[in-house]
Each structure stands twice: as structure tokens, then as C-alpha cells.
Amino acid sequence: MQAPSVVIAAELQRKIDNKTKPLGALGELESIAFQLGKIQQTLTPDVSKPKMIVFAADHGVVAQGISLFPQEVTPQMVMNFLMGGAAVSVFCAQHNVPLRVVDVGVNAELDAHPLLGSRKVAFASKDFSQQAAMTTEQLEQALQAGVDEANLAIDDGVNLLMFGEMGIGNTCVSSCMMTALIGVSAIDSAGRGTGLDSAGVSHKAQVIEQALQRAEQETGQIMADWSAQTLAEQVGGFEILAMAGAMLQSAQRQTAFVVDGFICSVALLFAQKVAPNVRDYAIFAHQSNEKAHKVLLDHLQAEPMLSLDLRLGEGSGAILAYPLMNSACVFLNKMASFESAGVSGAP
């Protein structure tokens, strides 16, 4: 995987700077326009053909009482997505963004639906506090599900991919993966998720510590030495890995993708362990209310577009940020230059 070529960078910056505005006056919008132009290797970036893909799966660790909600909420919410009633559904409809929901591990049989992709790896991962979350074959299937979904979209002409997730317990899984990936303590990576109190967060951190200790003993390696494969097999989640696979393939095909909140950011963190250049194709939507997200964004040296105190997941922050990305393209493509407008003071 190659990083975007920098050949066009100077010309892009000149075009941005020559718009009828003071230098840097459009702030982060200029950074987004620059990044999109560099990814697409054009002076006229375009995000008019976006797509939202929400990956859904369940997690065996829910058996340890780490979530306020029971596991049956996952398939119920998937149906809510498909019927158009969820936040991501109504926001996608508002902005005319196609929505696809992909089952990679929901613990239920789901009826066929035009918006549903069926790529089920298993009926939930295993309880990683007791045993490895998945097999090597399941890991490969989860990653491939994301690769296939990215290819499907890009082959259809999509020029901006947005990712979301659904899975009761997946903040616990994400916190565990984050601890293993960057070495922060479990108590610093564990957050309230869907609304845990302080005792619940403490319990979640204990379960994460137990899982990592078990995995270190079984693998005979400290987590800092784990490969991406070992980490995913021991403490991963199917929908998180599917997102990572989709991100890796998006980058491979030089297509920008939008990172939603905490869980999606962990997927990127994992993808970056596989291929560091994937980070260059990521646009960060928002900083969520989940306490570890800022730590993770700082680690990724990311500047998210929004900070709205969101903690919903499901791609809600990504779709809310979409109009800003569209505006970044509009200003670069349609705003007058000093020369074309006959305005004095060009830099």
C-alpha cells in the first residue's frame, strides 16, 4: 500500500491559498480539501458519491456483564437500521447517502433485506476473558468481509466511504484492543459505553485485564510483542476487524474513508498495525464522549472535524460530518480565486 503521492501537494496548496479569503481563513475545511485532493490526486476533489457501511456483530464477553443492554439488542437495532428508524438511517436519508448494513457476526438469523449484506463469520465471537475470541480462519473471514464490501462500493463508483458499527459489548472489545495496541491501562481505556456507572466501568476494566492476562499466558508472549494476527484472534471483534479490512482496502484503492467514533478509531489503529500508510486515507469525523477517544485521537495525531459529545456509534458522527467534507470540495472547486474575481491582495 502506497501513501498518496505528494507531487500534487504544492499545486493544491496554491489553489487553496488563492481563493478569495485570507490565508488559512477556512481553517480545518482547508485541511480537509487538501487531504481529499491529495488522496484523489486531483485539484477538483469530489465526494458526491458517498456510502455508509455499518458492520454488525455480537461478542461473547457480554456474558461477563460488561454492558447495560442484553445481546438481543444487536439484531433488534440491525432491523431498526434496515427499517430506517435509527439515527444513522435518518441522517443518511437526510443527506441522500446510501446505507448498507453488513452482518459479520450477529447472534441471530436475520431475514433477507435489500440493505443487508450477509457475511456472517459466526454467531458472535467467543468470551475472550475465558478463551481466544476467534480462530485464524474467522479472523481472515472478518477481514475479507470488509475488503469485499469496500470493493463492492468502489466498483460501483463510490468516492467516499463512511464506516459505522453495531454490537452490544463492542466498546469493551475496543478498549481491550486499544490497551493491547498502545499499552494504556485497562482503566484508562475502559469507558461508560452505553451508560455504565463507575462500578460498571471498573468491572469492565477488570474483565479486560483478565482477558489480557489469559491471552499472555496462552500465547506465551507479552501483549506488546503480539502480532496483529495474535491480537485479533485473542481479543478482537468481527465487526471491528471487518471495518479494519474495509479501511485497508479503501486505502489500497486510494479511496478516502471517514472514521466515526471510538470503536471505528480502534479499527483504524488495528489497520495501521497491519499497514501504517492506511492512516493517510482516513478523515476523522468527531471526538466522541467515550473518555479514551481523545487519548486515541492524540495517539493517531488526528484532528477531528466535530466535537458534539456524541456516544452513539453506528456511524452517526461520520454522516454528520459529511456536509463539511462536501463543503470542502465545493469551496475548492467553485469559490473564486483572487485573479478570477479581480480582487486585489492575492498571496
Residues known to be catalytic: 314
Give 263's strand partners: none
CA 304/CA 283 separation, integer angstroms: 8
Q: What is the identity of the amino acid at 246?
A: A
Give 117's strand partners: 102
What nine digits make up the cell of 197? Answer: 456507572
Helix (H/G/I), strand (E/B), else coil: 58: coil
Helix (H/G/I), strand (E/B), else coil: 332: helix
Instruction: Note whether 247 and 278 are within 8 A (CB).
Output: yes
Length of the chain: 347
CA 214/CA 218 separation, integer angstroms: 6
Helix (H/G/I), strand (E/B), else coil: 264: helix
Give 50's strand partners: 160
CA 116/CA 127 separation, integer angstroms: 26
